[in-house]
A and B are shown apart, each in its own frame.
Chain A
Amino acid sequence: MTPPSPGKDAILGAIRRGLKRSPLPDDQQLGLRARLAAHPRHLIPARGQLPRPEQVALFLRNVEKEFGTTARIATLSDVPSAIADYLAANNLPTDFAIAPHPELEAIDWTLRPLLTRRPGRAQPTDQVCLTHGYAAVAETGTLMLPGSPHRPTTLNLLGDTAIVVLRASRIVGFMEAAWDLIRAENHDSTTGGFMPRNIMWVTGPSRSADIESTLELGAHGPRRLHVVLIDDDPAALLTDDPTTLT
């Protein structure tokens, strides 16, 4: 039970005085509840509604436009090599914090024995953090990172370098389609709904233009954002040879 709140009555009362009415009658409330239940989509820009291969290409282009980097690999088992190569190319340490996500744990990491993984949340001393991409939006090059025991939020924030492993099949055209995924797939036992405590939508590495209106990367969050994309979606592959279409 909610305790009585004089502030609540005062605010709602003032709003209703302004609207010149009492609390909404039941039928109108029903209409609004129906709108909430249907959560209709509004205008969705055409650029989010491309054919599959272009959609994935647009996502990668947008990540790079926003100062992220990308690597495209064929299967999950290529992840350790892709990570090792990226770390070596950028002179980064080979030990990193990693999301304790089943998909990442299923990878055979022994292929690259020099990589040292520490599963769990990020610590302030972590230089590199690797997390699991839940979904991504082509329209803007945005990663959808819902917090969960398998995907701690701090991994998105504390490291100097953030790496996200994402499956191409999880790239959608626009944000509304990503909401549909989590509406369908997630159950939050605290609320009975689908929203986890926290969902971060990340578009490129941290930045600020507060000093003389000039953009600098790496304000408080990661200075680098690297997306490792696994091509698990045959429909998403660009083909150079038009004959394969027939």
Chain B
Amino acid sequence: MLATSPAFKQNVKGALADVALQKALAFTRPNFSGKRTAAVANLPEFEQLRDVGRDIKNHALANLDFYLETWAGNVEKSGGTVHWCSTADDARAAVLAICQRVGARTVTKGKSMISEELGINDHLEKYGIEPVETDLGEYILQLRREPPSHIIAPAFHLNREDWEESFRASHTDLPDDRVFGERRDILTEAREKLREKFLAADVGITGANFLIAETGSSVIVTNEGNGDLTQTLPKVHIVLASIEKVLPTLEDACTFLRLLARSATGQDMSVYTTFSTGARRPADLDGPDEYHVVLIDNGRSAMIGTEFQEMLRCIRCAACMNHCPVYFTVGGHAYGWVYPGPMGSVLTPSLIGVDKAGHLPNASTFCGQCESVCPVKIPLPKLMRHWREREFERHLTPQTMRTNLAIWAWFARRPAAWRLATRIAAWTLGRLGRKRGKFRTLPFASGWTDGRDLPAPEGDTFFARYARQQRDNQA
């Protein structure tokens, strides 16, 4: 997928002016965080489970080579094939080779973020193979040729009118005068259209939420059932999985299943959690004849042993973006690549380079909500700060910002100068703003005042007040 992350600032301007997007964001925001809060409140052990989850992932990552080899050995024992792919190119080639060998014409797909990362759809289309996204949200995005804006609710930025318009434009075989009275009608039409695709597909591609070393299984978690139809009906099932997905045992997976759905959608458990282990057995009445796992590194191994290794614990639940004030101001598309929100702001620079994605770790208020809800306790603000440091070290930060930082640093290291400067500023601004108590515009501060007023200082600095209070307390 082509990144527009370098254009983050322009993307944000567009997003803020997009009335339909702002409507969807305002509608969804309380919904997402509220559901998680309710689900977590119903499980007293949730906080402890976060520690357990973090520890299991740390253990798996510290022994990643061992667990991947064990997992791959068990995949082969079950009649499956593992394709080890270091790069996105290798992975695209592996998927295409399988599809071409079996003469595939259509390929159904379950929702997979790594598929977005690889741009599998464009690649298959280039070779005359039709990919069909079957997750409802991904399906409409494919019709509209849009990327997802959220990792688990890919099309939440669309309103009902958008769905209707796209369905009328795409399903031209259906009567023009049909009525979409309620959401259910949209769903029913998609269900019928996609049923045909499920039955016709030659290959089904899914992602994987987890890989299990002990049994050589891949696990998908869905609510619609599209992932299961995708992997059950065609002759060939291809799993796309990145290297950090591996867990040692089924018992380890249980902990993550308790964390994942609650963190993601506020469910106790998603509707379908499916463990797939190899191809159809000789006496089975259904299931694919071939089972392949395309195992993808694509930049992840380079994170191991660095301060960003902790990011590899991520289970893609989306809790961080669901609680992020920046995400709910600009939406997912502004981030410009596959992974939006706080997790994307850490992961995207790792995978496509901080030179391209440097704006993202800067687009944070460091309020810490993301870290406080992360089911595997990834210190997201700290990791974003590491990216800011790296960006600064590599001289990628804009000159004005570097100059301002240098000025700030000069004062910050000289307390007397700092106090004097802040006293002058507070006094001046306090005098200027005394009448209204706030500023509508202020030189050099349009970034703030364009969106909201700046409260005027009351004439005193924090230091001065603090000192006074200390004196009063002692007196």
Contact assessment for B86 and A14 in the assembled complex, using a CB-CB cutoff below 8 Å: yes
Residue of A nearest to B85 (CB): A7
Contact assessment for B163 and A211 in the assembled complex, using a CB-CB cutoff below 8 Å: yes
Contact assessment for B66 and A207 in the assembled complex, using a CB-CB cutoff below 8 Å: no
26 residue pairs bridging A and B, Cβ less than 8 Å apart: A12-B68, A16-B65, A39-B214, A39-B251, A40-B249, A41-B251, A42-B52, A45-B44, A45-B45, A154-B286, A175-B254, A176-B254, A189-B281, A190-B78, A193-B215, A197-B281, A198-B232, A198-B287, A203-B269, A205-B271, A208-B223, A211-B160, A213-B32, A218-B191, A219-B223, A219-B224
**Please, what's the 1-or-0 string for B201-230, where 1 marks a CB less than 8 Å from any CB in chain A?**
000000000000111110000011110110
Contact assessment for A153 and B228 in the assembled complex, using a CB-CB cutoff below 8 Å: yes
A154, B231: Cα distance in complex, Å:
11
**Minimum CB–CB distance for A107 against chain B, Å:** 20
Q: Is B179 an interface residue (CB 8 A)?
A: no
A238, B400: Cα distance in complex, Å:
73
A148, B286: Cα distance in complex, Å:
9
Contact assessment for B78 and A24 in the assembled complex, using a CB-CB cutoff below 8 Å: no
Contact assessment for B156 and A210 in the assembled complex, using a CB-CB cutoff below 8 Å: yes
- Interface of B toward A, CB cutoff 8 Å: 24, 27-28, 31-32, 43-45, 48-49, 52, 56, 62-70, 72, 74, 76-79, 82-86, 90, 134-137, 140, 153-156, 158-160, 163, 183-184, 186-187, 191, 194-195, 198-199, 213-217, 223-226, 228-229, 232-233, 243, 248-252, 254-255, 257-258, 265, 267-287, 295, 297, 301-306, 309
Contact assessment for A7 and B184 in the assembled complex, using a CB-CB cutoff below 8 Å: no
Chain A contacts for B272, CB-based, 8 A? 200-203, 206, 221
Interface residues of A in 140-155 (CB under 8 A from B): 140-142, 147-149, 152-154
A205, B222: Cα distance in complex, Å:
12
Q: Is A15 an interface residue (CB 8 A)?
A: yes
Contact assessment for A42 and B160 in the assembled complex, using a CB-CB cutoff below 8 Å: no
Chain B contacts for A156, CB-based, 8 A? 228
- Interface of A toward B, CB cutoff 8 Å: 2, 5, 7-8, 10-12, 14-20, 23-24, 29, 32, 35-36, 39-43, 45-47, 62, 66, 100, 120-122, 124, 139-142, 147-149, 152-154, 156-158, 174-176, 179, 188-193, 195-214, 216, 218-222
**Minimum CB–CB distance for A9 against chain B, Å:** 8
Chain B contacts for A221, CB-based, 8 A? 224-225, 228-229, 271-272
**Given A11-B84, A198-B276, A216-B184, A32 and B56 contact (CB-CB distance below 8 Å):** no
A205, B159: Cα distance in complex, Å:
25
Chain B contacts for A20, CB-based, 8 A? 305
Chain A contacts for B273, CB-based, 8 A? 142, 200-201, 203
**Minimum CB–CB distance for A167 against chain B, Å:** 21
**Minimum CB–CB distance for B402 against chain A, Å:** 31
A115, B67: Cα distance in complex, Å:
50
A147, B78: Cα distance in complex, Å:
15
Contact assessment for B251 and A179 in the assembled complex, using a CB-CB cutoff below 8 Å: yes
Contact assessment for A202 and B214 in the assembled complex, using a CB-CB cutoff below 8 Å: no
**Minimum CB–CB distance for B306 against chain A, Å:** 7
**Minimum CB–CB distance for B334 against chain A, Å:** 19
Contact assessment for B284 and A213 in the assembled complex, using a CB-CB cutoff below 8 Å: no
Sample of 14 further A-B pairs with CB below 8 A, known A19-B64, A35-B248, A209-B265: A8-B82, A11-B295, A15-B64, A20-B305, A24-B66, A35-B249, A36-B248, A46-B44, A193-B77, A195-B78, A198-B274, A211-B136, A212-B27, A220-B229
Contact assessment for B252 and A42 in the assembled complex, using a CB-CB cutoff below 8 Å: yes
**Minimum CB–CB distance for B234 against chain A, Å:** 12
Contact assessment for A36 and B277 in the assembled complex, using a CB-CB cutoff below 8 Å: no
A175, B78: Cα distance in complex, Å:
23
Contact assessment for B301 and A42 in the assembled complex, using a CB-CB cutoff below 8 Å: no
Contact assessment for B43 and A152 in the assembled complex, using a CB-CB cutoff below 8 Å: no
**Given A24-B65, A42-B52, A157 and B84 contact (CB-CB distance below 8 Å):** no
Chain A contacts for B217, CB-based, 8 A? 195
Nearest first, the 4 closest Cβ-Cβ pairs linking A and B are: A221-B225, A18-B304, A7-B84, A219-B224
Chain A contacts for B56, CB-based, 8 A? 42
**Minimum CB–CB distance for A233 against chain B, Å:** 23
Chain A contacts for B72, CB-based, 8 A? 8
Q: Compute the total of residue contacts between A and B using a CB distance below 8 Å.
A: 281
Contact assessment for A18 and B301 in the assembled complex, using a CB-CB cutoff below 8 Å: yes
Report which of B65, B226, B277 forms a contact with A198, defined as CB distance below 8 A. B277
Chain A contacts for B252, CB-based, 8 A? 42
Contact assessment for B183 and A148 in the assembled complex, using a CB-CB cutoff below 8 Å: no
Contact assessment for A207 and B271 in the assembled complex, using a CB-CB cutoff below 8 Å: yes
Contact assessment for B31 and A42 in the assembled complex, using a CB-CB cutoff below 8 Å: no
Contact assessment for A195 and B228 in the assembled complex, using a CB-CB cutoff below 8 Å: no
**Minimum CB–CB distance for A102 against chain B, Å:** 14
Chain B contacts for A24, CB-based, 8 A? 63, 65-66
A12, B159: Cα distance in complex, Å:
45
Q: Which of B27, B199, B254, B255 lies at the interface centre, i.e. has the most chain A CB atoms within 10 A of its CB? A: B254
**Minimum CB–CB distance for B288 against chain A, Å:** 9
Chain B contacts for A211, CB-based, 8 A? 136, 160, 163, 183, 186-187
Contact assessment for A32 and B270 in the assembled complex, using a CB-CB cutoff below 8 Å: no
A154, B277: Cα distance in complex, Å:
16
Contact assessment for B285 and A212 in the assembled complex, using a CB-CB cutoff below 8 Å: no
**Minimum CB–CB distance for A78 against chain B, Å:** 27
**Minimum CB–CB distance for B152 against chain A, Å:** 10
**Given A200-B272, A201-B274, A213-B156, A176 and B228 contact (CB-CB distance below 8 Å):** no
Residue of A nearest to B227 (CB): A220
**Given A46-B44, A210-B137, A212-B183, A14 and B297 contact (CB-CB distance below 8 Å):** yes
Contact assessment for A209 and B153 in the assembled complex, using a CB-CB cutoff below 8 Å: yes
Chain B contacts for A190, CB-based, 8 A? 77-79, 278, 281-282
**Given A8-B84, A213-B153, A15 and B304 contact (CB-CB distance below 8 Å):** yes
**Minimum CB–CB distance for A29 against chain B, Å:** 6
Residue of B nearest to A41 (CB): B251
Chain B contacts for A17, CB-based, 8 A? 301, 305
**Minimum CB–CB distance for B32 against chain A, Å:** 8
A9, B278: Cα distance in complex, Å:
23
**Minimum CB–CB distance for B18 against chain A, Å:** 16
Residue of B nearest to A199 (CB): B275
A202, B164: Cα distance in complex, Å:
31
**Minimum CB–CB distance for B386 against chain A, Å:** 16
**Minimum CB–CB distance for A61 against chain B, Å:** 12
Chain A contacts for B223, CB-based, 8 A? 206-209, 219
A154, B228: Cα distance in complex, Å:
9
**Minimum CB–CB distance for A189 against chain B, Å:** 8
Chain B contacts for A32, CB-based, 8 A? 63, 66-67, 248
**Given A42-B254, A199-B274, A124 and B136 contact (CB-CB distance below 8 Å):** no
